[in-house]
Amino acid sequence: MATPRLSTNLSDEDPESTGQEVAWTAAVPLRGRATVAGTPGTGGRLLSTVLNGLKKYTTLLVLLILMALFSFVSPYFLTSRNLINIVLQNTYFIIVAVGLSFVMIGGGIDLSVGYQMSLVGVVTAMMMVVYQLPVWLAVGIGLLLGTTLGLINGLIVAQIRTFPLIVTLATSTIFQGISYLISQAKTYRNYPAEFLFIVNGRVLGLPFDVFLALVIVICAHFIYSETRFGLRLIALGGNEEAARLVGLNTRFIKISAYTLCGFLVAIATMVMLAKANTMNSSFGPGTEFVALTAAIVGGVSFVGGEGSIPALVAGVFVLAVLGNGMQLAGWGTYAQYIVRGIILLGAVVFDEYQKKTRRALR
Amino acid sequence: MSARAEYIVEMKGISKRFGGVQALKNVDLELRYGEIMGIVGDNGAGKSTLMKILAGAYVADEGKIYVDGREVHIRNPLDAARLGIGMIYQDLALFNNLDVARNIFVGREYTRGPFGILLDKKRMYRRAEELIRELRVDIGSPQFNVAMMSGGQRQMVACARAVAFQTRILIMDEPTAALGVREASRLLSLIRDLRDRGISILLITQRIPDVLAIADRVFVLKGGQRQDVMEVSKVTLDDVVTMIVKGKERGGNGDAQVEYKSFG
Ligand SMILES: Nc1ncnc2c1ncn2[C@@H]1O[C@H](COP(=O)(O)OP(=O)(O)OP(=O)(O)O)[C@@H](O)[C@H]1O
Ligand SMILES: [Mg+2]
């Protein structure tokens, strides 16, 4: 996509420029000197500034409170062993959530990520176990497949311009059906040692999957704050009509977001596969709910345009800590479902409330 | 530019239909170099549609557009921008989730790095600050978020964006509609300022007195058809209002009025 350079009449480069970095979401619109100067605002604006400032740290705050809470409930909770376990169990959720954030911040939604994992997972597993392909080839095929699934979602959403919720709901069941057809509902286990490097290997002293998640998180943060694509994606999510009017190729951006999501979901699938060392078509579905909840808890707006990667990661850990803590407290899995649902509702209400205050203050 | 054309913009025989609504019917418009032309007409007359066609937001069903006397094909907003045409939309089309600088530059970012994938934020902030200073508008810092701004400030951001890129033809769609008396008069003087810098301006407005105060000519649309173009110095408020309401009494435009009434 070529961007015409229309501007001239610029002053020359000035290395001592004052342009400091600024956060890219509305969650942190005013900070530093910005809070004081300019807008003839009064109490209302100040209140909303405080609210917005808080929002940036809300998720982290909630996480810390939960951790403090559970440390009282169970002495085992705050042990390093338990905390490390929490991290290890959630690397692939983080990767999926990051993938989903591209779609959501761009104003879309992808409900099919769990089913993409199911399909990519069985295909990759069968390539290794049944067809005995070399690991790199099996993984390559899996990543390509995942990317293609994302591309398909993107093409449909961009082409027929309908609710992405419905589109990806439809592709979900298609992916699931194909997954079962291919796997014949069988289980494929015991992968080559090279593949299990994903969970057993270490890079820079970190377990490989943790390292991978970290790299992905950093890259995503960089994309949002430093790249032209990131800015355009955020703009598209904020106001699609305006994006069109400033000449953005909205279809291309949408398709890219879904494709990127598919690629990251495929990477997450490899981690899931290596962790379980077994795969069948029922693995994967359900991940979309966790990732979606984590994203919304982490301040990613479900109408697009807003979100931050650090908060998103904190969102994943809020859910993780909650699950872990409740288990330690002996609450069982079913209660966790209920609590998760309530948390999702709570996050949505909080988000909506904040939007209303902001609108009212205008 | 060699032999200078008579008009900076000429639109000829522009027609546009939205489903059952004939929004524009064979409209001609000529804009002179360095003039302010008011575009007036009732709600639904087709003002926004005509200007959006010039700005590339819509493509006309029929008709031709000339810039500097040369025929041009404006298929999208970037084509228009390349020709130096900038537009401030009626609803401003701002991004509430972005700050001032990002609002100004998104779509035409300053970039660096391989293939220009990285944002040159420093340069964007610096240029945004310059623009704010040049326009002498009160929007504070380019790091402010536009969601929190007043209607007037938001208008200024949209204006800064519209003139940021060598704009020679500026279209403003009811810029004073949502403004208070003071902000409106500041905006009018800004418009004069821009004209004095050589920008030709098309100003859509419902406030006829504003047009009489700053425009050189006024273009009247009714039911998607051109009624008249009048020299402001030669008309009164009543003349303009009469033209808007009654139109030019000429044969064959009865149909258009019926259509307009039934859909407007
Ligand atoms: N995108 C669209 N889809 C369908 N109809 C449209 C669209 N845009 C404009 N119209 C119709 O075209 C006609 C002209 O609309 P337009 O917005 O150009 O009028 P206007 O003169 O700008 O009115 P206003 O003063 O209310 O802004 C109206 O009947 C309107 O309903
Ligand atoms: Mg209009």
Q: How much is the pLDDT for A3? A: 34
Cβ(B48) – ligand 1 distance below 6 Å: yes
B-facing residues of A in 295-314 (CB < 8 A) are: 305-306
Is A18:B125 a contact under the CB 8 Å cutoff? yes
A13 interfacial to chain B (CB closer than 8 Å):
yes
Residue located nearest, by CA, to atom 30 of ligand 1: B44
Q: Measure in Å the smallest separation between the Cα of B165 and chain A Cα atoms.
A: 5
Q: Measured between CA atoms, how close is B117 to chain A, in angstroms? A: 5
CB interface of A with B, residues 160-179, below 8 Å: none
**Torsional sign, CA A236, A242, A246, A249:** positive
Shortest CA gap A298–chain B (Å): 17
Three-state secondary-structure class, residue B7: strand
The whole-chain average pLDDT of chain B stands at 89
Residue A22 belongs to some domain of the structure: no
Q: CB–CB of B127 and A38 under 8 A?
A: no
CATH number of the domain bearing residue A222:
1.10.3470
Q: Residue B50: what are its φ and ψ, rounded to 5°?
A: -60, -45
What is the distance between the alpha carbons of residues B97 and A300, in angstroms, rounded to a whole number? 12
> Is residue A331 helix, strand or coil?
coil
State the Cα–Cα distance between residues B28 and A243, nearest whole angstrom: 29
CA B257 to chain A, closest CA, distance in angstroms equals: 30
Strands A278-279 and A188-189, sheet pairing: antiparallel
Give mean pLDDT, residues B75-87: 94
Residues of B in contact with A248 (CB under 8 A): 106-107
Task: Tell me which of A297-311, B38-52, B56-70, B202-216 is least confident.
Answer: A297-311
Task: Give CA torsion, residues A131, A134, A137, A143, to 10 deg.
Answer: 80
- Testing the interface with A: which of B53, B98, B156 to mutate, by most A Cβ within 10 A? B98
Check residues A330 and B56 and name the one with the higher pLDDT: B56
Considering only CA atoms, which of A152, A313, A123 is closest in space to residue A220? A313
List the domain range (segments joined by +) for residue A295.
53-361
Indicate whether this complex's ipTM tops 0.95.
no
Residue A222 lies in a domain: yes
Torsion, Cα of A281, A287, A288, A291 (10° steps): -160
pLDDT of residue A343: 86
Lowest-pLDDT range, A39-43, B20-24, B66-70, B140-144? A39-43
Crossing angle (nearest 10°) for helices A135-160 and A113-129:
150
Q: Is residue A46 part of a domain?
A: no
The end-to-end CA distance of chain B, in Å, is: 43
Which phi and psi (to 5°) does residue B165 adopt?
A: -120, 70
**How far is ligand 2, taken at its centre, from the CA of residue B171, in Å?**
12
- Does A241 contact B at CB distance below 8 Å? yes
B263 Cβ closer than 6 Å to some ligand 1 atom: yes
Classify residue A36: in a domain, yes or no.
no
CB B47 less than 6 A from any atom of ligand 1: yes
Nearest to A227 by CA among B100, B120, B221, B62: B120
Give B154's contacts in chain A (Cβ within 8 Å).
none
B77–A13 CB contact, under 8 Å = no
Domain boundaries, chain B: 7-93+167-257
Question: Count of domains in chain A?
Answer: 1
Strand B36-40 relative to strand B200-204, pairing: parallel
- Partners of B140 on chain A (C-beta within 8 Å) are 34, 37-39
> Average pLDDT per run of 10 along chain A, which is 362 residues long?
32 33 29 32 57 73 90 89 93 96 96 97 96 96 98 94 90 96 93 94 93 97 96 96 94 97 98 94 92 91 88 94 88 84 86 68 48
Testing ligand 1's pocket by substitution, the residue of B24, B40, B47, B262 carrying the most ligand atoms inside 8 A of its CB is B47
pLDDT in tens, A178-229: 999 999 999 999 999 999 999 999 999 899 999 999 999 999 999 999 999 9
Query: CA nearest B220: which of B205, B199, B200, B236?
Result: B205
The answer to whether residue A238 is domain-embedded is: yes
C-alpha neighbours within 13 Å on the C-beta side of residue A33: 9
Best residue of B51, B52, B97 to probe chain A, by most A CBs closer than 10 Å: B97
Report the distance separating Cα B59 and Cα B2, nearest Å. 29
Its CATH class, for the domain covering B7-93+167-257, is alpha beta
Chain A residue nearest residue B127, CA to CA: A10
Å from CA of B21 to ligand 2 middle:
15
DSSP string covering A145-190: HHHHHHHHHHHHHHHH---HHHHHHHHHHHHHHHHHHHHTT--EE-
Predicted TM-score (pTM) of this structure:
0.86
Q: CB–CB of A91/A209 below 8 Å?
A: yes
Across the range B5-21, mean pLDDT stands at 94
Helix (H, G, I), strand (E, B) or coil at A234: helix
